[in-house]
Amino acid sequence: MSIYTRLIRAPAQSFFLFGMRGVGKSTWIRGALPDALVIDLLDERLYRDLLADPSLFPEMLGECAAGDWVVVDEVQRLPELLNEVHRLIEDRRLRFALLGSSARKLKAAGTNLLAGRALRRMMYPMTAWELGEDFDLERVLRFGSLPLVWASAAPDETLEAYGELYLREEIRAEALVRNLPGFVRFLPVAALMNGSVVNVSGLAREAGVARATVHGYLEILEDTLLAYRLPAFETRMRVRERKHPKLYWVDPGVVRAVKRQFGVPVAEERGPLLESWAGATLRAHAQGGELFDEMYYWSPHRSQAEVDFLLRRGSEFLAIEVKAASRYHSGLLRGLRALDGLDGLGRRLLVYTGARSFRSTDGIDVWPARRFALETAAGALWPR
């Protein structure tokens, strides 16, 4: 496998780095901070020692001087260590890189994530910019772009194992749910809803659990960074609009693995998979704070007109519709045209799987998926 340059850059001060399992946090940190002392909480003996006596932690850092870096990998396993980290930042001026695949236990423990003394960064599956010439949209839609899957000679088997790893390491080992069978039933149902408006009652019925339980399960998906809920936008354009959020999984390969689908994506899969890839691309490039302030979707109630992503930056808006069609026709612009009266709307953009870029007669830009990804990476998504 090629060595890919990742989007993330190590800040000058202490930081949290969150990302789903297998996204490449540990590999990246070894290259970014090669001289750092590494405390790996996946080491069971080390974990048990610190669990029994967290005061051992500063002793392990005895030779570190002010300004030195210390990496704590899988920090969510021992939230109590953050008290020591806080003190060591203040008293000894050490710098910490705190890596985790979930913020759930940190939040549950009532920690304040170091009260601003550590920045927060996210790592996503590899983007088109990171993959460069190796980027292959069809491969991404089928297998996703987690580094361990991308590097595998048998990506379907690796994805199948990933699903088992998630349940074993993230859910069962961390005791995130009391009813593991219910959560196991919930996962493939939630995967089928990728790109759809969240229907809590339907999820509860299909998984055989209570509505309140489903709310908790959705939070677990978000806290373990596999999925997110995209809120609906209310335009006040005198149309009745949907108000419930949509559910998007972050990696197309993972959502397919949860559904146990490993073959070439069928037609009905492609649209939601392409949308989830586009959403993850936008989120991955948004960490600098300039791409957008908020991201929504927009859809009038009982209408086929919809806009998948509506970005707000200050008082400006940018509308993006994502279609898996490889051939352009004017019907693909229905949602973008319906949003024409929104105040502050700058660019309207259709992303599709065809090869030609152009502008429609009413000013809507039409871009291939690759161009969308690279323009987003270059900071050129908004009109100048």
What pLDDT digit, counting tens, does each position of 236-284 carry? 655 555 688 999 999 999 999 999 999 999 999 999 999 999 999 999 9
> Does residue 19 have a pLDDT over 70?
yes
271-300 pLDDT, tens digit per residue, is 999 999 999 999 999 986 789 999 999 988
Return the pLDDT at 183: 87
123-180 pLDDT, tens digit per residue, is 999 999 999 999 999 999 999 999 999 999 999 999 999 888 777 677 776 556 777 7
> Does residue 112 have a pLDDT over 60?
no
> What length is written for the chain?
384
Flag the least confident range among 102-111, 120-129, 252-261, 356-365. 102-111
> Does residue 66 have a pLDDT over 90?
yes
Cα–Cα separations (whole angstroms), residue 285 to 1, 39, 104, 118, 267: 23, 29, 24, 20, 28
293-349 pLDDT, tens digit per residue, is 999 999 886 667 899 999 999 999 999 999 999 999 999 999 999 998 899 999 999
> Does residue 113 have a pLDDT over 90?
no
67-88 pLDDT, tens digit per residue, is 999 999 999 889 889 989 999 9
The full set of domain ranges for the chain reads 15-122, 128-377
Return the pLDDT at 109: 56
> What is the topology classification, in CATH, of domain 15-122?
Rossmann fold (3.40.50)
Return the pLDDT at 15: 95
Return the pLDDT at 41: 94
pTM of the predicted model as reported, rounded to 2 decimal places: 0.91
Q: d(Cα 265, Cα 84) in Å, to the nearest integer? A: 48
Return the pLDDT at 2: 59
Return the pLDDT at 303: 66
Return the pLDDT at 304: 72
Average confidence (pLDDT) over 220-227: 89
196-223 pLDDT, tens digit per residue, is 999 999 999 999 999 999 998 899 889 8
Q: Rounded mean pLDDT of the chain?
A: 90
